[in-house]
Amino acid sequence: MNAPRLIVAGTPSLDRIEIGGRVLATVGGSGFITAVAARLADITVGLIARVPKALPAEVAVAFAPGGIDPSGLVATNGSLPRFHISYDDSEAASYLAIDSGEESQVGAVDVPRRWLDTDWFHIGPLAASAARQLRFVEGLLGRGYRGGLSAGTFSRAAATEPDTVRRLFDLVDIAFMNQSEADQIYPEGPPAETMVFVTEGRAGVRAWNGSDWAHHPTTGVSAFDPTGAGDAFIGGYLGTMLSGESDPVERGLGTAFEIVAGPGAAPLIHKLRFGTVVEPDTVPTDSRAAAVDVEQTAAVAAALPDVASDSSLDFCGAPFPERDAPHALDALTVGTLHQYGFWIDTDNGYGGPMWATIDGVRRKGSDFIWHAFTRAAADDPAVLEPERLASDPLLFDTICVDDDGVCPVPDVGSHRALQQAYGATIGPLGGVAAIVERSNEAPDPLAALLETLQTVPGFGEDPLAKKANLLALILARRPERFLRPHATEAVAPIVDYHIMRTMLRTGCAGVEDAALREHLEGRTWVSPGIEASVRIAARDAINRLCTTSGLSVGAVDGFLFTLGRTVCLETEPPKCSACPIATACAQDVRLFQPIFRTTAY
């Protein structure tokens, strides 16, 4: 869940272009074009934008797997911006109509917290307002962002808000503008402390390094539509600057040359190559974190045989699909894909669990997801077909909608990205049914299924394979016996945050480091290494509990998961008097699970 290398603030737009006697309907948007151009420089890119819940297909394709990360999209009931632009014979633009849509509401509050660690932010001309850009930058800095910054501007802002534009540019590392805008913003030349690029249309670009101008010409430009050339230059420049693979100015000019060859952003969108490679998480652990307490684990293990047994849960009936429902296999698999992160965060840490009302019933996050996907597949079995999952970046928002008409799931952007990447990968594999059928034909169906899932986005990134093992357990225990044989002794511990919390509070995963204890008790963010250590300690403790007690992983893991949801609670005081292992438990009740955003659990 690393942040993209570059984050761009700006919204796709639906434009009407008049040029050379032609009238074109195109996809544009300054920040959107910059983001697509930067993605073509082979770096990861995210976009901060407010968009309608149903994106036009020509826009949605840019957010397909391998394209722009959709995690920064905020789905609203509004509309995309619309511009009506007319070009004269010299390619000078006149804006005949401007409808900013929801872009006027875009702000730093829309940035996912995990994206504050990105290398670079570029702020496009939000709703053609320098004041909004300035507020965005100030909000970003106020949230603790300390990476690189750049910004562009807009002809109207340069003409009506030159002082505000200058204040904006004083806060960024690189300022981008065209020659007309530069004449109004810096009539006496730019300040020494700001790096400036001034695009000059067919003449190329001038670069100001603080003391001197360098001119970079371009030749042989034949423009079909000049819209977005400057924005494409910005994206090409920033993407190459961050990748370090070639000359950024040369790449920027080349990208500008490419976009003018066709209408709007279409030439650059056409170049995007979509594909997904799952890289297992290899975050190193931190030795200062938690470790298995052998004596405490032995005490808890002695109490388990009287209270823990293999769960009779068959994952059938509400909120799960009914037995023999034709959509059950897909709904269970995609529902498992999204079983993670059901808590609200703040810039400081934990903000509370997710609850939402769906079809008149108030449900916690996990049950909300199960109900939403079961309902969606029952209403339209085709909704979970791989092609649909891969092509619609806001499908998750549509499926997981509560009774107020909004998607309440935290970090919804990561769910969108996983949904699309999963769909793009599962299709060429023949779909879920084919994968399960091939697994059942193998000598060890469980091992075969887990091996395949290691290649599937949403399942393969987690070294502890929580969701992959959960899916195997579900498919084996369903009445249809999707996965054969039914035995699940080889399923690994399914380590989520409820399991970590119970292992910490029982003392099975011991904490000696004072700094870590402060984070856990204060429910504040921890590093990847700390989180990995605590989670691995919890896994190893469960394995030891199983070995010592003679119980299966399903029995121990299931008991502790239920304990965490009903007794050893998140936001209420633990009900220790009702705990069946209270006499063996360390009752270290101030401890909490590590606060860390991940798609693993």
Question: What pLDDT score does 435 carry?
Answer: 97
**Positive or negative torsion for Cα 41, 45, 48, 49:** positive
Average pLDDT, stretch 74-87? 88
Q: Does the pLDDT at position 222 exceed 70?
A: no
Nearest-5° angle of CA 466, CA 471, CA 472? 100
Q: Is the separation of the CB atoms in 349 and 356 below 8 Å? A: no
pLDDT category of residue 274 using cuts at 50, 70 and 90: very low
**Positive or negative torsion for Cα 471, 389, 268, 181:** negative
DSSP string, 113-145: GGGGG-SEEEE--GGG-HHHHHHHHHHHHHTT-
Residue holding tokens 């239920």? Answer: 562
pLDDT category of residue 98 using cuts at 50, 70 and 90: confident
Q: Does the pLDDT at position 277 exceed 90?
A: no
What pTM did the predictor assign?
0.83
Average pLDDT, stretch 423-442? 95
Q: Within a 13 Å sphere around the CA of 353, how many CA atoms are in the beta-carbon half?
A: 18
The SS3 call for residue 337 is helix
Looking at the chain, the whole-number percentage of residues with pLDDT higher than 90 is: 71
Separation between Cα atoms, residue 316 and residue 58, nearest integer Å:
39
**539-583 tens-digit pLDDT:** 999 999 999 999 888 889 889 988 998 999 988 999 999 999 999
DSSP string, 410-473: TTHHHHHHHHHHHHHHHTTTT-HHHHHHHHHHSSSHHHHHHHHHTTSTTTSS-TT-HHHHHHHH
Nearest-5° angle of CA 314, CA 320, CA 324? 75
- Other CB atoms within 10 Å distance of the CB of residue 547: 11
Q: Which two tokens stand for residue 258?
A: 């490419």
CA 583 to chain CA centroid, Å, is 42
Q: Is the separation of the CB atoms in 17 and 263 below 8 Å? A: yes
Question: What pLDDT score does 284 carry?
Answer: 66
Q: Does the pLDDT at position 397 exceed 80?
A: yes
- Other CB atoms within 10 Å distance of the CB of residue 320: 22
Which has more confidence, 413 or 89? 413
Question: What pLDDT score does 211 carry?
Answer: 82
Q: Is the separation of the CB atoms in 505 and 585 below 8 Å? A: yes
Q: What is the mean pLDDT of the chain?
A: 90
Question: In the structure, how many helices (H) and strands (E) does the chain have?
Answer: 22, 19
Which has more confidence, 454 or 226? 454
pLDDT category of residue 58 using cuts at 50, 70 and 90: confident
Q: Which H or E element spans position 198?
A: strand 195-199
The angle, 0 to 180 degrees and rounded to 10, between the axes of the packed helices 432-441 and 328-337 is: 100
> Of 13-22, 372-381, 389-398, 401-410, which range is least confident?
13-22
Q: Could you give the dihedral angle defined by the CA atoms of residues 199, 124, 92 and 216, in that order, rounded to the nearest 10 degrees?
A: 10
Q: Does the pLDDT at position 186 exceed 90?
A: yes
Question: What pLDDT score does 484 carry?
Answer: 86
CA end-to-end span of the chain = 12
Question: What pLDDT score does 5 carry?
Answer: 96
Separation between Cα atoms, residue 444 and residue 438, nearest integer Å:
11
Omega cis (within 30) before 485? yes
- Burial zone of 250 (CB within 10 Å; 0-12 exposed, 13-18 middle, 19+ buried): middle
Question: What pLDDT score does 282 carry?
Answer: 53
Question: What pLDDT score does 289 carry?
Answer: 78
Q: Torsions phi, psi of 327, nearest 5? A: -100, 5
User: How far are the Cα atoms of 17, 225, 233, 270 from residue 263, in angstroms, in the given order?
Assistant: 9, 5, 16, 11
Letter string b/e over residues 467-504, b meaning 16 or more CB atoms within 10 A of that residue's CB: bbbbbbbbbbbbeeebbeeeebeebbbbbbbbbbbbbb
Question: What pLDDT score does 311 carry?
Answer: 63
Separation between Cα atoms, residue 223 and residue 210, nearest integer Å:
32
Question: What pLDDT score does 221 carry?
Answer: 62
Q: Does the pLDDT at position 273 exceed 60?
A: no
- Other CB atoms within 10 Å distance of the CB of residue 68: 27
Separation between Cα atoms, residue 101 and residue 82, nearest integer Å:
7
pLDDT category of residue 111 using cuts at 50, 70 and 90: very high
Q: Does the pLDDT at position 276 exceed 60?
A: no
Question: What pLDDT score does 310 carry?
Answer: 65
